[in-house]
Amino acid sequence: MHDYARLTPCIMLGSACLRVHFGHLQYLQRQSSMLRCWFRIHRLPDSFPSVSTLRDSRSQAYITRPSLLKPFGLRVANPMAELSVDPTPVYSFRLPQVGYWQLPVTSLCPPAMDGKKDFLPVLSHTRFLEHSFMHSDEIPVFTDGSKSDAGVGFSVAFPSFYRCGSLPSMASVFTAVLSAIVLALQIIFTLPVSSYMILVTVLISLSCPI
């Protein structure tokens, strides 16, 4: 359901013409708020956003207004400093912005090797070939991730090339597998062929909303 009542005329005009989803309108509103904040910081140097953003966190802006809610980063930093504990760095991965109209049509095959430990290698190989034959019109893409004492890494193998990457040692093998799938999707978005088959080694990774 679209809520146009509280939107600015500019955003309402775009909504009427393009039928943008309400979530995208909220994004435009956030961008508008950021622009207003940018104006106050750079054009009005004595304003409170400028003081709280460009000066130290212990500035007079918060001392004179103790009831004001500090930014999330400062609220987290204060108790961590009191504990004298080194914060654990978290590996962040920024996905490229992809519009919903650009997302390809995907389907999930049933596990071709479910319970593979109960099958002989020859039988497992036969089952894999039989399932691959069903997708003979698609380009196979192999993904995998691993972790050892030497580090954490992931790789993607296409028929004619491959790509690989590394992660911080604190990353799990599950994160490595997901990173391989994300890398495969990023590469596929840049290729002209429209039909691919991504093979994964960890079934639970397919339940993650990447």
Whole-number average pLDDT of the chain: 67
Structure tokens at 37: 């904040």
Inside any domain, residue 27:
yes
Inside any domain, residue 92:
no
Both 40 and 126 in a single domain?
A: no
Both 74 and 111 in a single domain?
A: no
Both 42 and 75 in a single domain?
A: yes
Both 55 and 115 in a single domain?
A: no
Both 78 and 139 in a single domain?
A: no
Residue 156 has pLDDT above 90, yes or no: yes
Both 108 and 34 in a single domain?
A: no
pLDDT for residue 189: 82
- Lowest mean pLDDT segment, chosen from 47-51, 102-106, 107-111, 138-142: 47-51
Both 121 and 164 in a single domain?
A: yes
Both 53 and 114 in a single domain?
A: no
Both 121 and 194 in a single domain?
A: yes
Task: Give percent above pLDDT 90 in the chain.
Answer: 6
pLDDT for residue 104: 66
Cα 101 to its chain centre, rounded Å, is 18
**Percentages helix, strand, coil for the chain, rounded to the nearest 5?**
45, 15, 40
Of 80-89, 119-128, 163-172, where does the model show the most confidence?
163-172
Inside any domain, residue 163:
yes
Q: Which residue has the tokens 């775009």?
A: 14
Averaged over 33-48, what is the pLDDT?
53
Inside any domain, residue 97:
no
Of 8-12, 148-152, 190-194, where does the model show the most confidence?
148-152
Residue 167 has pLDDT above 70, yes or no: yes
Structure tokens at 209: 């909303």
In whole angstroms, what is the distance from residue 98 CA to residue 72 CA? 27
Both 45 and 114 in a single domain?
A: no
What's the whole-model pTM score?
0.49
**Model confidence band, residue 46 (pLDDT cutoffs 50, 70, 90):** low
* Predicted confidence (pLDDT) per residue in 81-102, tens digit: 555 545 455 555 565 666 666 6
Q: What residues make up the domain containing 168?
A: 104-207
Inside any domain, residue 98:
no
Averaged over 66-89, what is the pLDDT?
57
Both 117 and 44 in a single domain?
A: no
Inside any domain, residue 180:
yes
Inside any domain, residue 35:
yes
Inside any domain, residue 62:
yes
Give the containing element (helix H, strand E) for 112: none
- Using the 3D structure, point to which of 53, 83, 113 is the last residue of a domain: 83
Structure tokens at 96: 């490229």
Total domains, the chain: 2
pLDDT for residue 202: 72
Phi, psi of 50, deg, nearest 5 = -65, -45
| 3-class DSSP state of 197 | strand
Both 127 and 178 in a single domain?
A: yes
More confident residue, 157 or 34: 157
In whole angstroms, what is the distance from residue 210 CA to residue 75 CA? 29
- Using the 3D structure, point to which of 49, 83, 117 is the last residue of a domain: 83
- Using the 3D structure, point to which of 50, 83, 116 is the last residue of a domain: 83
Of 8-17, 56-65, 116-125, where does the model show the most confidence?
116-125
More confident residue, 100 or 39: 100
